[in-house]
A and B are shown apart, each in its own frame.
Chain A
Amino acid sequence: MPLSKSEISVGDQHSEQVVENLTRTQIIQYAGASGDYNPLHTDEIFTTQIAGYPTVFAHGMLSMGMTGKMLTNLVGDGRLTKYGVRFVAQVWPGDSLTSTATVEAIREEDGVSLVDLAVSTVNQDGAEVVKGSATARIDD
């Protein structure tokens, strides 16, 4: 259900857990669907022995995709006009992520009502992994 102007206020927050105990298999699913087969995300031997990391880690775009699920659940299908993030920290197998959108502004542009959202995803230790913003069309 799309948001309407009357039901939101600046400062409102919406949070969702977007993954609990991220599995290597889900990372592999993302590699297969997205087409990013970088072995850093799926190949334990390469990642530990060649690249020097403790284990494989999630594609940044998987974290952005999971964070986007929280956004579309909040603003409705096909309502986003902008969505952008910085990848702040790596996401590892076993991590549980919670994404939060905070209403920053409710405004009008060319006769269209919009909501601006600050976006943040944190892991189970409260460390931020994704930080960004989004804008969506809302109903009057």
Chain B
Amino acid sequence: MWKYLIEKEFKQFFRDPMLPRIVIVFPIVMMLVFPFAANMEVRNINLVVVDNDRTDLSAELVEKCTESGYFRLKEVCSDPRKAQEMMDKNTVDAILTIGQGFSRSIVTGDGFPVGIKVNTVNGTKGSIGSQYLSNCIMLFMQSHSDGGSSLQDASSGAVIDAAPKYYYNPYMDYKVFMVPALIVIAVTMVTGFFPALNIVGEKEAGTIEQMNVSPISKTSFIVCKMIPYWVITFFMLGMCLLIAWLVFGYVCKGSLWGVVLFTVLHIMVTAGLGLLISNYSENAQQAMFIMMFFVLIFMLMSGVFTPVSSMPEWAQAITYANPLRYYADAMRSIFLKGSSVADVWYDAAGLLAIGSAALTWAILSYRKTS
């Protein structure tokens, strides 16, 4: 009986004009496009320089900034008002003002009359841009004060060289960071939302009515509906890992069994959520809307794109109820750090708690509507 039910789901799945293609295309697009596009690195910051010094040194500073590759020099002018006007018009993102007497103060070591103004309409671009810019100036200053220090006496003491070292992702490559997170998103979509839409689809078609008058229990009917999607999920997971390895050369540092275990736990959560959605919606449109609501909240508050620790406290509190937070954290830890399941036990506990709550609620509401 179960065999036949599952067979029917697979038949329907493969006959759908869209679904099989989505399952193939979705991970490919996710893995090949997103890591490049959904990138937190900021490049091509439009820069205008107000150079009031006009010396070789100031020109060198400008060159230093532009050769970093992060800035695109729009203009060098001497009128700060004009620069401000350009920023107001949104043609430039940052203004670097080099004050009069810049080269003189470098020689005397009196500090730099340099000003930075950034356009923070796009907050990320603004704050990261100003960081880059000050880094450039720091580097410039260092190189020149080094030259100057030889003139000074050596007793000025050891210079503390603080060079950060990045663990687990040595080049701060955003792609490495995103790959496990994208797997998380793909798995969530396929396990939670496809089956929910499928069940709502049977509701719309009226076929669920036919099934309800049959001796088959509702539970086995639903479980048989979900099993194919679980199989498909693992197929997709494999595909994502394969792409990560073939294209980016990333391999999972931890055990694949850990990845599988957390995926299973996450499936439990999404199955519960999917069932809840299908219980409370009468048609596909409603289901889609509820899903959009959850997907947006889950993704934005999961730490997938922006770190949880930088959220305000009340928002951090909300993330504790977000299954994606745990799953994403666990996947990153296992994938990038090679953590064992024991290392991320709290993520497993979180998933288990949310999963059992969602499933219980789903089953209760399911019985009530019967």
Q: Do A and B bind each other?
A: no
